[in-house]
Amino acid sequence: MSKRHDEKQISACCLDYRNGKSVQELLHCYSISKTTLYRWLQRQRRTDEHGTAKNLDRKTISEFERQRKMLEIYQKTGLGTGSSVAEKVAAIQNLNGEYSLNLLFLTLGVPKATYYRAIESKETQFEIKCKTLMPIIEEIFNESKQSYGARKITEILRKKGFSVSPNTVAKIMHSHGLFSVRAGAKKLYLQNQKRMENLLCQQFSVSKPNEVWVSDVTEIKYRKYKYFIYIVLDLFSRKVIAFHISMKTTVQLVNRTIKKAFETRQPTEPLILHTDRGVNYTSKDYNHTLRLMNITHSYSSAGNPYDNSVCEAFFKTLKEEELYRREYHSEAEMKKSVFDYIERYNTKRPHTYLRYKTPEWVEAEYFAQHTLT
Q: pLDDT band at 280, cuts 50/70/90?
A: confident
pLDDT for residue 3 is more than 60: no
Q: What is the DSSP string of 179-239?
A: --SSGGGHHHHHHHHHH---SSTT----SSTTSEEEEEEEEEEETTEEEEEEEEEETTTTE
Structure confidence at residue 96 (pLDDT) = 74
Question: Which strand (E) or helix (H) includes residue 152?
Answer: helix 150-159
Structure confidence at residue 60 (pLDDT) = 63
Answer yes or no: are the C-beta atoms of 345 and 237 closer than 8 Å. Answer: no
Mean pLDDT of the region 101-120: 81
Which amino acid belongs to residue 41?
Answer: L
Q: pLDDT band at 349, cuts 50/70/90?
A: very high
Structure confidence at residue 230 (pLDDT) = 94
